[in-house]
Chain A
């Protein structure tokens, strides 16, 4: 099948490439652009490990064709750190609160949590759990992921983080 020209911005950098229409965005990013932060967990639209931020939406990049992302502005975990190289508040939160064990789901979790906090800068625990319900973690039981996101929200809002009593 003939390839088509696509152009998209990924983590601030413009990428021009030829893609087969059937190429999924996750395969394009990982196999053709060596952007391997987004992971392939289930490849069946369930697990959210492949989540990227696309034009202000959290999307599962295993369920979007690269050609559909023509002209899009995409952010992956590789683009999360601050410009000066320090960790983004979410990355810091996941480290401080032990929001990961094996780490496989973490890139998708952080990218999804980024959009959640863009839309709601002070989510309740319930809103966090609902907001990350498209991302599966098989290690943590989610407790520390929720805390990591609460940590990040507090930091971004410039207020001290207070861990809820268990």
Chain B
């Protein structure tokens, strides 16, 4: 399989990349880790005339603390996320999620920015970013702007990114110390997208849920933030009856496609099962 011909550009700054994307218009695509785009190009489902490789821009890599936030450069790979001590200590759900993405070779090149910006409902990080209330930093023709992950996803492969935009970093407010978390993903085999998956971050105070946030992967055209389900759980001890109500609320907002991973109803039910498991594991991990 040989992709269509294209011209290759390797800018060394975000400004240069944005300039190239603006100037070349719809014929150009930004290349991050390439593990979604290059397979599409090999199938000729994508035939960009220009590839703008973001791999030469040092500013786009790395994990750093900034006040109460952690800022992760868009070209930081999943392998880097797994190895980050800072993330392991402050936002461990990112390590747990990264470890469930694809396989080792893909994780060495696959990036956080590519994962969240591509708009593929099968990608794992978007629902986690909604769960964590992350903000995406985007550089475009008119300068930098910030968009909440919870407002970013419009449809399958359709996001709030506009032509000429480069997602440069993901900014995540650090969850409270002692929070519980889990990313539960049902997949048929290593390397597969989720049949359904659930991300949970919660805090417990005196045996009761103090705060809770839930994201769901691959059970709709976009990742989902299950706001209602989380609200039901706040104040409860995660007793079976309340969990059942929350699971029902989460299932109610899903609209999965039937595909080789199963019929729509099955995937909805599996989203519920993943949520119940994630809640139990997050509770067991929470302190306080």
Footprint of B on A, CB under 8 Å? Answer: 1-2, 4, 20-22, 24, 27, 43-46, 48, 51, 57-60, 62-65, 67-68, 112, 116, 130-134
CA distance A134 to B38 in the complex (A): 17
Residues in A with CB closer than 8 Å to B51 are 21
CA distance A94 to B112 in the complex (A): 35
A-B contact pairs, 18 of them (CB 8 A): A4-B8, A21-B6, A22-B41, A24-B3, A24-B42, A43-B1, A45-B35, A45-B38, A57-B108, A62-B42, A63-B38, A63-B39, A65-B8, A116-B104, A133-B104, A133-B190, A134-B103, A134-B190
Residues in B with CB closer than 8 Å to A22 are 2-6, 41
Given A21-B51, A22-B4, A133-B190; 19 other pairs, CB 8 A cutoff:
A1-B5, A1-B6, A22-B2, A22-B5, A24-B42, A44-B39, A44-B42, A57-B79, A59-B105, A62-B42, A63-B35, A63-B39, A67-B8, A68-B53, A112-B105, A130-B104, A134-B102, A134-B104, A134-B191
CB distance from A91 to the nearest CB of B (A): 20
Residues in A with CB closer than 8 Å to B109 are 57, 59, 63-64
Establish whether residues B103 and A48, one from each chain, have CB atoms under 8 Å apart when the complex forms.
Answer: yes
CA distance A134 to B53 in the complex (A): 24
CB distance from B17 to the nearest CB of A (A): 15
Question: Does B161 interact with chain A (Cβ within 8 Å)?
Answer: no
Residues in B with CB closer than 8 Å to A45 are 35, 38-39, 106
Question: Does B175 interact with chain A (Cβ within 8 Å)?
Answer: no
Interface footprint category on B:
20 to 34
Chain B positions 97 through 129: 1 when the CB is less than 8 Å from some CB of chain A, otherwise 0: 000001111101100000000000000000000
Establish whether residues B104 and A131, one from each chain, have CB atoms under 8 Å apart when the complex forms.
Answer: yes
Closest 3 CB pairs of A and B: A134-B103, A21-B8, A57-B108
Majority-rule SS of B interface residues? mixed
Docked complex: B1-48 residues within 8 A CB-CB of A? 1-8, 34-35, 38-39, 41-42
Establish whether residues A60 and B55, one from each chain, have CB atoms under 8 Å apart when the complex forms.
Answer: no
Looking across the interface, which residue of chain B has its beta carbon closest to that of A45?
A: B39
Looking across the interface, which residue of chain A has its beta carbon closest to that of B103?
A: A134
CB distance from B97 to the nearest CB of A (A): 15
CA distance A58 to B5 in the complex (A): 26
CB distance from A48 to the nearest CB of B (A): 6
CB distance from B88 to the nearest CB of A (A): 16
Establish whether residues A1 and B190, one from each chain, have CB atoms under 8 Å apart when the complex forms.
Answer: no
CB distance from A24 to the nearest CB of B (A): 7
CB distance from B9 to the nearest CB of A (A): 9
Establish whether residues B106 and A134, one from each chain, have CB atoms under 8 Å apart when the complex forms.
Answer: yes
Selected from A21, A27, A58, the residue in CB contact (under 8 A) with B105 is A58
Residues in B with CB closer than 8 Å to A130 are 104
Residues in B with CB closer than 8 Å to A57 are 79, 108-109
CA distance A20 to B51 in the complex (A): 13
Residues in A with CB closer than 8 Å to B38 are 24, 45, 63-65
Selected from B2, B7, B106, the residue in CB contact (under 8 A) with A60 is B106
Establish whether residues A48 and B105, one from each chain, have CB atoms under 8 Å apart when the complex forms.
Answer: yes
Residues in A with CB closer than 8 Å to B5 are 1, 20-22
Residues in B with CB closer than 8 Å to A44 are 1, 39, 42
